[in-house]
Amino acid sequence: MCGVIGVEVWNVKKLKTELRWVFNNQRSRGVQGFGVGLRSGASGKMYRDRTTTEKGIFNSDIWGMVEEGDHLIFHHRIPTTTYNAVKCNHPISNEGGDLL
């Protein structure tokens, strides 16, 4: 089972607070595997981070890269078909790293 949150960033200062609010409201969808993907609105470059813990994802360096106009996807899960490992957590990218 998974929880997914998609965001178009309008206010960087409020992002983590508002994202945590939504996450806490759908927390039952999983807290054993996390990921965040970021697409820069300015350059179009994509970045991602995946962790096995809630603390790890909310302390990710990716949060310092976010700017207004960016697009972000946040994922959290309860593993049902694989174990909780970074390589199993979304967002998963293609081989070129240009698609999440």
Q: What is the pLDDT of residues 47-99, one digit of tens each?
A: 999 999 999 999 999 999 999 999 999 999 988 887 788 887 888 776 776 66
Q: Is residue 99 part of a domain?
A: no
Q: Tell me the residue range of the domain where 13 lies.
A: 2-88
User: Which pLDDT belongs to residue 83?
Assistant: 77
Our count of domains for the chain comes to: 1
Q: Is residue 95 part of a domain?
A: no
Q: Give the number of other CB atoms < 10 A from CB of residue 48.
A: 20
Q: Is residue 94 part of a domain?
A: no
Q: Is residue 60 part of a domain?
A: yes
Q: Is residue 98 part of a domain?
A: no
What is the tens place of the pLDDT at every residue in 26-40?
Answer: 999 999 999 999 999
Q: What is the DSSP string of 31-60?
A: SS-EEEEEE-TTT--EEEEEESSHHHHHT-
User: Which pLDDT belongs to residue 7?
Assistant: 95
Q: Is residue 84 part of a domain?
A: yes
CA distance 36 to 21: 16
Contact 74, 16 (CB under 8 A): no
pLDDT at 19 over 70: yes
